[in-house]
Chains A and B, each alone.
Chain A
Amino acid sequence: MPARTKFEIKLGAATREAFGRALVELGRENKDVVVCDADLSKSTMTAYFAKEFPERFISLGIAEANMCAVGAGLALAGKIPFVSSFSAFAMNKGFEQLRCCVAYPHVNLKVVGTHSGISIGEDGPSQMSIEEIGLACSLAGFVVMAPADEVSTKALVKAAAAHMGPVFIRTGRPKAPIVYSADHKFEIGKAVQVADGKDVTIIASGLLVAQALLAADTLEGEGISARVIDLHTAKPLDREAIAKAASETHAIVVAEEHLVDTGLGVRVAQVVAESRPCPMEFVGIQDTYAETGQPDELMEKYGLMARDIVAAVRKAVARKS
């Protein structure tokens, strides 16, 4: 296996920013794209769409439950609606509406949550969403995605619009390290192997993909060859990529900015259990709520950095028989 070039953190746009820009492009491409927001358009970045297409932007005030069901009504009448708010509000306050008005009748609504995870920083736990992957994945028929950078976000937002059926996309507040070249192609449900390796596989999503790549570099220095997979789609899972990782590297670490209880890790573990059981470790938020702080301080305190992934990999590799 040839030596890899070391991954360097180069910040790109926030994934919420990429979402907002993608919406404008979608608006130009398809007149049926409609956007609803709940008084956070300047933060969710749907304000770009609102500015260019005011007649297709619906401000619904601070009322997320209503917004999710209005979105369903728009979709039932043939529109391709995107509803957006902070993940914490869209998913938690809109959950029942997403279940009964969207998932159960399989309505073509796109829900985009911004300010996901604890990396929003100073606003603290009431605004931090650490459970929405679990919630979204419990909505039958939903596609659930958590892209890593601006390139993948833009591509997957566009893929969501083209997909017929309900979609949830998780985006973040801070600038996100660039993982992909601008022309990289993405497919819903298709994991991307961003680094190859043979001793362990790190499966990550969102901001943790860049941390996983940094971890892989560190591990290489220790003689551990780590494969890194960006599992941007939490549902439907790329079962093939997971099973292949389990059978070829015999150890898996899942890293995500989400409660470990209900996130990507437990879903991956299910596939591993059903295919080729192997040692697994989980990097994520451990049954707690975070606090006010700078994003980096919080990511460090709550164990979501490259060094935490490295530690988890060492444990997983040590457990290999």
Chain B
Amino acid sequence: MKRPMHKSIEELQVIARRVRREIVEMIGAAKSGHPGGSLSAVEILVELYFNRMNIDPKNPKLPDRDRFILSKGHAAPVLYAVMAEAGYEQTPLDKLDTLRKMGSVYQGHPDMRYIPALEASTGSLGEGLSLALGMGFAARMDGRKSRTYVMMGDGEIQEGQVWEAAMAGAFHKLDNVVAIVDYNGIQLDGFVKDIMDVAPLADKWRAFGWHTIELDGHDLHAIDAAFTEAEATKGKPTCLVAHTVKGKGVSFMENNPKFHGTAPSADEVKLAMQELQ
């Protein structure tokens, strides 16, 4: 099961571009949603689902699988597009445009009732790291090699529960858990540094006992290297502080707080599609 879909960097880049197009199109069709934080997370999710995790999309519940939790559940479109590209039966590519419509499996935030292949239902911020720890404890008790990856937003880590979990993960030496902070610098009300600054972010995770790696969250080489380093790190969990660009890949969305939670208009979708050729 190890890395069933191992891909070259070039192939991953092609997939990432398709995923970006799908994100913009699906949010455009839904007329609501969160494009900025979906686009900032693309490379990391593409690397996880196509190059990193022990998963079999045709058998999504294998006990030894690696697991991914999108704790920043509002970035659901990136997860849906990546899972659809990866070939999960429960996430059909041709239904991505039903995002946020009644009856769609593509609920506003990830919902296991609609997509059982998801590892968790998320949306209320601050909870995913704790869930990941639970999965990490279970894998360790069972002697499974399964690893759990959890992505949080930089705004999300303002939640106190994240730091309860950070303390517990390091204390219990859960080296099968990898946290990723999508450090795109923007939250709903504006720039993170203006709302409630989380800097110095890497220092905080180090102080909490996590092996911490800072990287460019859009550089597939760097992401690959960081996950490999995380796997080799024993006795403590790893946190990737991924410096990213909110709205990455669409010029008018990049670093623009407006596109945290606003859908692009039909004209904006067209423009974005031209840029994402």
CA distance A63 to B171 in the complex (A): 13
Contact between A70 and B127 (Cβ–Cβ < 8 Å)? no
Among B123, B133, B161, B168, the residue within 8 A (CB) of A97 is B161
Contact between B168 and A77 (Cβ–Cβ < 8 Å)? no
Contact between B119 and A63 (Cβ–Cβ < 8 Å)? no
B178 located at the interface, meaning its Cβ lies under 8 Å from any Cβ of chain A in the complex: no
CA distance A99 to B172 in the complex (A): 26
> SS class of chain B's interface: helix, strand, loop or mixed?
helix
CA distance A77 to B141 in the complex (A): 11
CA distance A73 to B167 in the complex (A): 17
A272 located at the interface, meaning its Cβ lies under 8 Å from any Cβ of chain B in the complex: no
CA distance A69 to B164 in the complex (A): 11
Among A61, A73, A75, A99, the residue within 8 A (CB) of B133 is A73
Contact between B123 and A74 (Cβ–Cβ < 8 Å)? no
Contact between A100 and B124 (Cβ–Cβ < 8 Å)? yes
B55 located at the interface, meaning its Cβ lies under 8 Å from any Cβ of chain A in the complex: no
Please name the residue on chain A nearest to B177 by beta carbon. A73
Contact between A78 and B137 (Cβ–Cβ < 8 Å)? no
Q: Which of A17-25, A52-60, A115-123, A300-308 contacts B (4 or more CB under 8 A)?
A: A52-60
Given contacts A61-B167, A96-B124, contact A77 B113 (CB under 8 A): no
Please name the residue on chain B nearest to A70 by beta carbon. B134
B121 located at the interface, meaning its Cβ lies under 8 Å from any Cβ of chain A in the complex: yes
Least CB distance from B11 to A in Å reads 31
A264 located at the interface, meaning its Cβ lies under 8 Å from any Cβ of chain B in the complex: no
Given contacts A69-B131, A73-B135, A73-B138, contact A78 B63 (CB under 8 A): yes
Please name the residue on chain B nearest to A109 by beta carbon. B134
Contact between A69 and B127 (Cβ–Cβ < 8 Å)? yes
Given contacts A69-B131, A72-B131, A100-B123, contact A34 B168 (CB under 8 A): no
Interface size, chain B (Cβ < 8 Å): 32
Least CB distance from B125 to A in Å reads 10
Least CB distance from A38 to B in Å reads 10
A104 located at the interface, meaning its Cβ lies under 8 Å from any Cβ of chain B in the complex: yes
CA distance A56 to B133 in the complex (A): 14
B139 located at the interface, meaning its Cβ lies under 8 Å from any Cβ of chain A in the complex: yes
Most buried by B among A60, A61, A77: A77
Residues of B within 8 A of A74 (CB): 134-135, 137-138
Least CB distance from B273 to A in Å reads 35
Contact between B141 and A66 (Cβ–Cβ < 8 Å)? no
B112 located at the interface, meaning its Cβ lies under 8 Å from any Cβ of chain A in the complex: yes
Among A58, A63, A73, the residue within 8 A (CB) of B131 is A73
B239 located at the interface, meaning its Cβ lies under 8 Å from any Cβ of chain A in the complex: no
Other than A34-B138, A66-B165, A79-B134, give 16 A-B pairs with Cβ distance below 8 A: A58-B137, A58-B172, A61-B164, A61-B168, A63-B164, A66-B168, A69-B131, A70-B133, A72-B120, A73-B131, A73-B134, A74-B134, A76-B134, A78-B63, A100-B127, A105-B111
List 10 A-B pairs, minimum CB-CB distance, nearest first. Answer: A73-B134, A69-B130, A77-B138, A66-B164, A63-B164, A73-B131, A74-B134, A100-B124, A105-B121, A70-B134
23 A-B pairs whose Cβ atoms sit less than 8 Å apart in the complex: A63-B161, A63-B164, A65-B160, A66-B161, A68-B130, A69-B127, A70-B130, A70-B165, A72-B134, A73-B132, A73-B133, A73-B134, A73-B136, A73-B138, A74-B134, A77-B134, A78-B63, A79-B134, A97-B161, A105-B111, A105-B120, A105-B121, A106-B113
